[in-house]
Amino acid sequence: MRVLAIGDVTSPGGVAHLEKNLWRVRRDNKIDFCIVNAENASVVYSYTPEQAERLLMAGADVLSGGNHTLRQRASLRILEENEALLRPINFGDGAPGRGYTILRIGGLAVMVLCAMGNIHIEPTLDAPFSFIERALEKEAGRYDLAILDIHAEATGEKLAVAYAFDGKISAVFGTHTHVPTADLRILPCGTGYVSDLGMCGESGGILGMEPCGVVTKMRSHLPDRFVPAAGEVCADGVIFEIDEKSGRTVSLRRISF
């Protein structure tokens, strides 16, 4: 089974880019299942219901989220209604939406989880380990493969989560930092891992944004308006090839388009 995971969509331009290219990329690479982190599609503040629908129509099977997912009030209703839309599981049961879903793809039940780190990231949530453990235990026997998006700032925290669930989750990928990392690996018990997928948005700026607003905010610590960068739009991701019988990742590679 080939799973394509795409890093944080950072702007409406990123949404349009996937609409134009994602189905072609899926066909060319024989992708069975696609997860897109839509965390910043509305420029920082999550995504609108329209953007969610467009991304799903563009070829995403699941939209994962992060620390900004619940900041778009217009999307709270669809987070409750649509099982393909996820927010971090460790927001807790009182938050709108869900932290995992199980979808049937090609005869396999695939469980996709989304969790958030708690080091150098706001809001500060409880550590994700116990939330992930409880979900896996609750759904035991109902899924064939599990995949996790760990949305976190600290690479060490992401890797700790991956090792904690090595052999229990087929693929663990990090999101949030918008910078693709070169540490693709398969852990000892078969979990495929990468610290960060990267992003889908305008290049040439700072994490998809024009430098001026970001520099001003970091210098003054005052709010400033973020505007998508002026560069060409590009999508970063990783393709995980997973053995359907063992649940182990057998290969993984980067893709940019």
Q: Which residues are catalytic?
A: 68
The dihedral region occupied by 97, where left means phi > 0, alpha psi between -120 and 50, and beta the remainder, is: left
- Three-state DSSP string of the chain: CEEEEECEECCHHHHHHHHHHHHHHHHHCCCCEEEEECCCCCCCCCCCHHHHHHHHHHCCCEEECCCCHHHCHHHHHHHHHCCCECCCHHHCCCCCCCCEEEEEECCEEEEEEEEECCCCCCCCCCCCHHHHHHHHHHCCCCCCEEEEEEECCCHHHHHHHHHHCECCECEEEEECCCCCCCCCEECCCCCEEECCCCEEEECCCECCECHHHHHHHHHHCCCCCCCECCCCEEEEEEEEEECCCCCCEEEEEEEEC
Instruction: Give whole-number Cα distances, 157 to 60, 100, 117, 140, 153, in Å.
Output: 27, 20, 7, 25, 8
Q: In the block, which residue shows the tokens 């398969």?
A: 186
